[in-house]
Amino acid sequence: MPVGAKLIGVGAGIPSAVVTNADLEKFIETSDEWIASRTGIRERRIASEEETTSALAILAAKDAIAFAQIEPSTIDLIIVATSTPDNLYPSTACMVQAAIGAPRAAAFDLEAACTGIIYALAVGQQFVGSGTFKTVLVIGVDIHSRFLNWEDRNTCILFGDGAGAFILQAADGENEILATYLRADGTGAHLLHIPNTGTAYPHAGTTPPKAMDRFLQMNGRAIYEFAVHAVPEAVRATAAKAGIRVEDIDFLVPHQANRRIINAAAERLNMRKEQIVSNVDELGNTSAASIPLALWQAIRRKQVQPPAICCLVGFGGGLTWGAAIVKWTAKDKRGDYNAED
């Protein structure tokens, strides 16, 4: 018998160091005007050496737990979506499990690049919906700054570091995760990748790759084209699965890759500016973290007020894309403690 699921918390973990476009101008040939007009990004957060992927994930987990006011010991499952874990293993999810005090939670990582948070949400919903688990912590976290060539102006300007978390819980009443939709197309794997970081390299006995060969590589134009088609397709398909019209969606919470992609996709969906949730100007592209971080800030700023039907839509390396339509009814149980005016 399927059980309903709802989102009861959202949280953030962001590094303290702010790197503005003007800071980038000091060491690469770029300008605030170029970056802002092409991407909408003005600044991003960059992790220090101490701020590891697990450290940011733990911050986001604790923030979401405080939002929902639950006991960490009641969490049954922790899923961390990341492409940039601390290590190949143990999983980042196990490190979160130990740090937050959730001894009975199962824990694993999941990798679907920037779409990872949507995949993790869908997996979490399946465990709740089947009645297997009651409370699931889902985290999207990435530290891309460690895998960027800081001399390559085509890529290094785009990314920021961060973590965002959701808490899902079984619900007696209606299912508030109205639908999820997951897609992948591995034929586009070469369009966005971080090579030489897994078992495809090194070949035993050969010279280790130079640091330069282990940086993120991207075909920007191709990713742009992919994204502006994938976002409307995922939104329409998920709305159809949820049995609602696109016009019934109150807010679009897209992956924060860049403002031009977000605006082009929103235009294709006939959505108004006020319906678009975006903080790419402040945080840049935080990969798997960007969707919960955008929603987290929109709630703090009271742009999104419950109840609201939100379409979370992701796209990224793989290629992967997907969406989740959720009815957001949760309020921060700390009251206005964390709200921004």
Nearer to ligand ACO by Cβ, of 27 and 201: the residue is: 27
Our CB check for ligand ACO shows the closer of 257 and 312 to be 257
Q: Could you tell me which of 235, 291, 264 has the C-alpha nearest to residue 113?
A: 291
Angle at 279 between CA 107 and CA 258, to 5 degrees: 95
Closer by beta carbon to ligand ACO, 158 or else 182: 158
Task: Find out whether the peptide bond into 307 is cis, omega within 30 degrees of 0.
Answer: yes
Given the complex with ligand ACO, which of 70 and 253 has the nearer CB atom? Answer: 253
Residue of 7, 157, 170, 295 interacting with ligand ACO (CB under 6 A):
157
Catalytic residue among 94, 255, 310, 311: 255
Q: How many chain residues bind ligand ACO (CB under 6 A)? A: 23
Task: Check binding of 153 to ligand ACO (CB under 6 A).
Answer: yes
Q: What whole-number distance in Å separates Cα of residue 18 and Cα of residue 41?
A: 12
The letter for the amino acid at 251 is F
For residue 22 the two structure tokens come to 């003007």
Any contact of residue 37 with ligand ACO (CB under 6 A)?
no
Which positions from 226 to 265 touch ligand ACO by CB under 6 A, shown as an x/- string? Answer: -------------------------------xx-xx----
User: What would the two tokens of residue 266 be?
Assistant: 């929103």
Instruction: Determine which residue in the list 315, 318, 324, 326 makes contact with ligand ACO, applying CB under 6 A.
Output: 315
> Which position among 15, 116, 164, 316 is part of the footprint of ligand ACO (CB under 6 A)?
316
- Scan for tokens 């102006």, then name that residue: 153
We find the least distance from the C-beta atom of residue 176 to ligand ACO, in angstroms, to be 27
Q: Quick one: which of 3, 18, 32, 34 contacts ligand ACO (CB under 6 A)? A: 34
Would you say 313 and 118 are in contact if contact means Cβ atoms under 8 Å apart? yes
Q: Could you tell me where the beta strands, DSSP code E, fall in 192-341?
A: 192-193, 217-218, 251-254, 308-316, 320-328
> CA dist 68 to 3, 8, 50, 92, 335, Å?
20, 6, 28, 22, 11
Piece of the chain touching ligand ACO by CB under 6 A; list 78-86, 116-124, 214-222, 271-279: 214-222
Query: Cα 15 to the chain's mean position, in Å?
Result: 15
According to the binding rule CB under 6 A, does residue 296 interact with ligand ACO? no
Kindly name the residue from 21, 175, 279, 285 that is annotated as catalytic: 285
**What CA–CA distances, in Å, run from 91 to 72, 95, 146, 242?**
19, 7, 18, 33
321 touching ligand ACO, by CB under 6 A: no
Active site residue 255: yes
Residue ranges that bind ligand ACO, judged by CB under 6 A: 30, 34-35, 38-39, 114, 153-154, 157-158, 192, 218, 220-221, 223-224, 257-258, 260-261, 285, 315-316
